[in-house]
A and B are shown apart, each in its own frame.
Chain A
């Protein structure tokens, strides 16, 4: 199972909005509404930010939202804050009864 495709890096200024894409195939992202997004700060464990494409767990800021169209899922962060600077990973359930992660996107807040 190949890793999901994410841009290596994105950047934005405080207050702006950014979107991170996550592209898979019809056997993973496109086939199931089981896409999650994780935030990871250096030296820390990943933290769940979005589940099942667009569900935001309790305690996660409303500035984070998720969506999906075809084989591509997206994470949007609005009102960028310095604390949002981190690595972001998507993941998806697959037809092989497994989970595949993306390669990760480094978000820089300028």
Chain B
């Protein structure tokens, strides 16, 4: 069964960093990109950026440039998203998704709630 298993809920203070993990099972990890999408409470999804797992190149949303890093460990089939210098408006559910191309996200993780609060 194709699944993306994400790390658990995080609570962080403003200015801190968070690193969310996403372990892929049931498919060839290096054959698909991984895209990260976040969703603030009561809001629509927001594209954060994506990574070609095979080549390692990334494409980040302009508003997150300089604060976000996406990586992948092909030995453990796990993708990571690190967001630094957290602010209160970074409070959201963070999803990893499998991206087969054509701006399509066909498999979603269960989401990781990240709360930023002092």
Contact surface of A with B, Cβ cutoff 8 Å: 3, 32, 34, 36, 38, 45-48, 51-52, 57, 89, 91-93, 96-104
Contacts and interface: CB of A to CB of B under 8 A. Distances in A.
A51 B106 contact: yes
Interface residues of B, number: 19
Contacts of B45: 38, 46, 89, 91, 101
B93 to A, nearest CB: 8
A71 to B, nearest CB: 16
Interface of B: 35, 37, 44-47, 59, 61-62, 95, 102-106, 108-111
A102 to B, nearest CB: 6
Nearest to A99: B47
A48 B105 contact: yes
30 contacts: A3-B44, A34-B102, A34-B103, A34-B104, A36-B103, A36-B104, A38-B45, A45-B109, A45-B111, A46-B95, A46-B105, A48-B106, A51-B104, A52-B102, A52-B104, A89-B44, A91-B45, A91-B105, A92-B103, A93-B102, A93-B103, A97-B59, A98-B47, A98-B59, A98-B61, A99-B35, A100-B47, A101-B37, A101-B46, A103-B44
